[in-house]
Amino acid sequence: MIIEPYHHQVARWPAEGRHILAQFDDASVIVYQAYQPSIARFALTHGYFGGKFSLSRMSWIKPNFLWMMYRSGWSSQPGQEMVLAVRLHRSAFDEILAQAVHSTYVEPVYGSQNAWKEALETSSVRLQWDPDHDPGGNKVERRAIQLGLRGDVLARYSRDWIINIEDVTAFAHEQYQHVRRNDYGSLLTPLEQVYPVTDTQVSARLGIAVR
């Protein structure tokens, strides 16, 4: 995982609109998940999700580190005590995006409530755009993406699509000390850029902002 001062990055990030912020290269993308220690340690030991990890429940991934920090309380919420950086094959992440269906009805995309409900029932990927947050937990105008996985997609994610898994819990705790002191000048975060969704149809359906 590559890190960089937060204040350098926030100056480059779009201030508003729907954007996928992520750390990626030509072959891979990092997404984050927070789990109880038993699930996280199994994944770190074996390099895939198993043990108490449930394939019958929807599991949410977030490519944006600060969005994960907001949701997990900087790795302090019950059941989210350990934060994992999961490096996926980029082709797999693109496949997840291509299958995503909005969690709420979007008329220009689905045309009718019935069509949306049918897509929602048959898709293995749920899409949500939520307000992004700054390190202190304050809402910003930009929207952050999270993706819920289930069924076949979750099964493939949990084993086949993972390149490696890294425990970033200690890093999160260290950086939170800067946040508590309002010392954003010392805050380090994973290097993230706007992820390019090259399939224009997928990008339009997801509602990604045009830069």
Residue-wise pLDDT for 126-182, tens only, equals 999 999 999 999 999 999 999 999 999 999 999 999 999 999 999 999 999 999 999
Q: Is the dihedral of CA 30, 172, 191, 1 positive or negative?
A: negative
What pTM, to 2 d.p., does this model score?
0.94
Do 72 and 146 touch, CB atoms closer than 8 A? no
What's the token pair of residue 166? 């890294």
Give the pLDDT confidence of 76-93 residue by residue, as tens digits: 888 899 999 999 999 999
What's the token pair of residue 71? 């949701």
